[in-house]
Structure 1
Amino acid sequence: MSHPARSPQGSPPPPGSRFFAPILAGATLRERLVACLGALIGIGLTAFISGLFVKHAPDVPLIAAPVGASALLLFVIPSSPLAQPWSIVMGNTVSALVGVGVAQLVKDPLLASGLGVSLSIAAMSFTRSLHPPGAAVALTAALGGPAVAASGLLFPFVPVALNSLVLVALGIAFHRLSGRAYPHTAPPAPANTHRTQDPPAAARTGFQPTDIDAALEMLDETFDIDRGDLIRLLRQVELQTTARLHGALRCRDIMSRDVVSVGPDEEARRARFLLLDHNIRNLPVVGEDGRLQGSIGLRELADAVGPVGPAMSPAATASPDQPAASLVPSLTDGRTHAVVIVDAERRVLGLITQTDLLAALARTVPAKAETAGA
């Protein structure tokens, strides 16, 4: 008796996934279709543009075969450390140089192939340009063949480096047009904005970078993800878990509704008076149409004169139906003291301060503690 295929977690695959079961986390059918289009355009134009440079050397190949594998990484997983511009260009080029050098010194094809691949991995590792197709480039160069013979000692530069540079340039343009960020840059770690030695508030609880190092050491595996992205992913998992555990608590449930605000033409001294008189840290800046324009606090008002409009800063906002726990990252970043709750047209509905959120979340602790101790 046959049984339906099951996912690694033991649950049946979702309907329609039999012919598309992504093996990469976060992959979707749309992403794959975009990647296919990118590879079509990227490889086609790379061959065309490279051909313009070698049109007077008909024996030189338009494109090196391993560049196709580079296109896969570039368009399918552009956030991978192995798919960044330096890895693609330097990884392919230095590997081709290694392969050509091995071919010149070692005549035995079996030994040359092994040395070419292994030494290219070492060279890419030392130059921080690890790129899997680079090993294929080294193998191609070490074994020789018509493509290498036609280019001679220029093979690492034409077609390999040329192909790589053109492909990366096209990849950057394609990703920008499709709304992706490439080259990929991992977000910086949270910083203490108060210029003290303490870690930022968001980094004092939950897992620590040392926990990630210990976990990686225990697993004893290498993962294709930047360490900064791994930290960001785990922080988001913590946030999602917190929002799920406190999902019943919405922003509308805890927000202050009698919001003290100022207009953009209000004088700075009037804004300072309101902050001190109401013992608050931020004032929403609201236009005549009732829509939120920004936020003003003592930091911005320290040296401000005249209207508050030029001194205001962007305001952190949320919707009334958003889980209250989702405001934790904003209200613990060391800069934001309040989040303005707005509707779809940015009309101010309320305000949630750090105190509001702390008081609301603290109410859930005794109930959970009593449940755990029962």
Structure 2
Amino acid sequence: MRAFFESWLPSPTTANRREQFRAAFGALCGILLTAIVSQLLLRSTHAAAFLVAPIGASSVLLFALPASPLAQPWSVIGGNVISGLAGVACVRWFGDSLPLPVLAGLACGSAIAAMFFMRCLHPPGGAVALTTVIGGPAVHAAGFEFVLLTVLADSILLVLMAITYNNLTGRSYPHQQQNPHANPHATKDAVPTVRLGFKPEDLDAVLQQHNQVLDISRDDLESLFMQTEQRAYQRRFGIIRCADIMSRDIISAEFGTPLEDAWSEMRAHRVAALPVLNRARRIIGIVTQTDFLEHGGLDDYRSILQQLQGFLRKSGVTHTEKAEVVGQIMTHHPTTAQVDTPIVDLVPLMADSGFHHIPIVDEEQRFVGIVTQSDLVAALYESRFAEAAT
């Protein structure tokens, strides 16, 4: 009997207790502030006049599932308002000729069709449409005014609360859709990590065959598949960490290192980048050959030597707009990795995002080494060779 009932339960959520509390407290704050502001704006003391019940369902999506396509601002505002308008239209046109159950079904069905058409599918929208049918004489009398004032105000206010709260608590909202396979070189070639294994078109074909609405964006789903492949690779080949392959005796620079000195160090040691450290040996930036070329205006190969010499040479004056030290041309806040980060996690960064050097830091965020593309390729080759030998 217990197994029978458990078969009806969904799988346990993967969110930890902290995330569950974050979502619950966010909904509390969101509904509370929405109700207070809406009451002040609409100047009513009756709850039904300034707060609609479906907004509670919207709060579940906005605070517990902020990455869901069903919880994005246009989905919430457009879905609720368009559904409300569809419901009011059904009441106005068919309210006197159809029984209440039929009218309720027609309102919800029309709302879903309209949300699909307007690309703003939002489950609480069905509740908004139903409210316009069973809300009683007051809602029927208000009609479109009820939707364009109360429903619209509540939806906008709740979205504003969600934007503020989610971003303050570490959840990006609105959720930014990113192409995980965008080529950093702006060419049509697929990034290296998808030239083998499953491809985006494979996922598109499966989703089309699945033919159902998913509560996760396509890009997020693809990213999850890629991360799953990485974990499977780790399990198959063992875990090699950054500390195992990184270079430790690294030439570095400080913010005030003169450009000429930094360039000379890079040339002398035949490296393409220098990590920039503060006195506590924490990473504050990285300067690469590309930074020198871009800031030096070296776009004409015929005069590149003269321009580079002029760029590196000190101006000799106290105040100048010309860059003179590393800190003025470095890339601030570069991507770093921990000493115990599996090297498989660096593959997307170097292969897809175009990074050639990843500074490595310890648990106190102090610089301890660097991993280059050459280090990564050699390590992956050795692990593959070792697996083939066994």
Query: What TM-score range do you get, normalising by the shorter chain?
Result: 0.7 to 0.9
Matched-pair contact (CA < 8 Å) for 1:290–1:348: yes
Q: TM-score, normalised by structure 1?
A: 0.86
- Which structure exhibits the higher relative contact order, with contacts defined as CA atoms closer than 8 Å and separated by 6 or more residues? 2
Residue number in structure 1 paired with 2:301: none
Q: TM-score, normalised by structure 2?
A: 0.82
CA distance in 1, matches of 2:283, 2:40: 54
CA distance in 2, matches of 1:362, 1:275: 27
Residue number in structure 2 paired with 1:340: 359
Which of 192, 198, 201 matches 2:192? 201
4+ long deviations beyond 6 Å: 1-8
Gaps of 5+ in 1: 9-20
Residue number in structure 2 paired with 1:310: 328
Matched-pair contact (CA < 8 Å) for 2:252–2:276: yes
Shift of 1:22: 7.2
CA distance in 1, matches of 2:343, 2:131: 57
Equivalent residue of 2:286, what SS?
Answer: strand
Residue number in structure 2 paired with 1:354: 373
Shift of 1:80: 0.9
Residue number in structure 1 paired with 2:59: 71
Shift of 1:5: 8.9
Percent of counterpart pairs with the same letter? Answer: 40
Give the aligned CA root-mean-square deviation in angstroms. Answer: 2.8
Gaps of 5+ in 2: 297-310, 313-323
Higher share of residues assigned helix: 2
CA distance in 2, matches of 1:73, 1:259: 48
Q: In the alignment, does 2:286 pair up with 1:295?
A: yes
Per mean C-alpha deviation after superposition, the further-off stretch among 157-166 and 285-294 is 285-294
Which of 264, 276, 280 matches 2:271? 280
Q: C-alpha deviations, 1:26-78, integer Å up to 9, x for none?
A: 32233222222222222233223222233358596232222221122112211
Equivalent residue of 1:94, what SS?
Answer: helix
Shift of 1:268: 2.2
Which of 319, 326, 330 matches 2:345? 326
Matched-pair contact (CA < 8 Å) for 1:201–1:334: no
Instruction: Please show how residues 158-173 of structure 1 align to structure 2 within 5 Å.
Output: 158-173=149-164
Q: In the alignment, does 2:183 pair up with 1:192?
A: yes
Shift of 1:162: 1.6
Equivalent residue of 2:49, what SS?
Answer: coil
Shift of 1:144: 5.1
Which of 232, 235, 259 matches 1:268? 259
Residue number in structure 2 paired with 1:104: 92
Residue 138 of structure 1 aligns to which amino acid in structure 2?
A
Per mean C-alpha deviation after superposition, the further-off stretch among 212-221 and 321-330 is 212-221
Matched-pair contact (CA < 8 Å) for 2:338–2:360: yes
Equivalent residue of 1:294, what SS?
Answer: strand
Question: How many equivalent pairs are there?
Answer: 359
Instruction: Please show how residues 1-374 of structure 1 align to structure 2 within 5 Å.
Output: 23=11, 25-55=13-43, 61-106=49-94, 107=96, 108=98, 109-143=100-134, 145-302=136-293, 303=296, 305=312, 306-314=324-332, 315-371=334-390
Shift in CA distance, 197/41, structure 1 to aligned 2, threshold 3 Å? closer
Shift in CA distance, 218/149, structure 1 to aligned 2, threshold 3 Å? closer
CA distance in 2, matches of 1:7, 1:113: 32
Residue number in structure 1 paired with 2:305: none
Shift in CA distance, 333/267, structure 1 to aligned 2, threshold 3 Å? farther
CA distance in 2, matches of 1:175, 1:75: 7
CA distance in 1, matches of 2:150, 2:184: 49
CA distance in 2, matches of 1:146, 1:370: 80
CA distance in 1, matches of 2:365, 2:169: 28
CA distance in 1, matches of 2:233, 2:261: 39
CA distance in 2, matches of 1:196, 1:52: 53
Shift of 1:82: 0.8
Residue 30 of structure 1 aligns to which amino acid in structure 2?
R
Shift of 1:220: 3.8
Equivalent residue of 2:340, what SS?
Answer: coil
Shift in CA distance, 5/359, structure 1 to aligned 2, threshold 3 Å? farther
Shift of 1:100: 0.7
Equivalent residue of 2:265, what SS?
Answer: helix
Matched-pair contact (CA < 8 Å) for 2:133–2:140: no
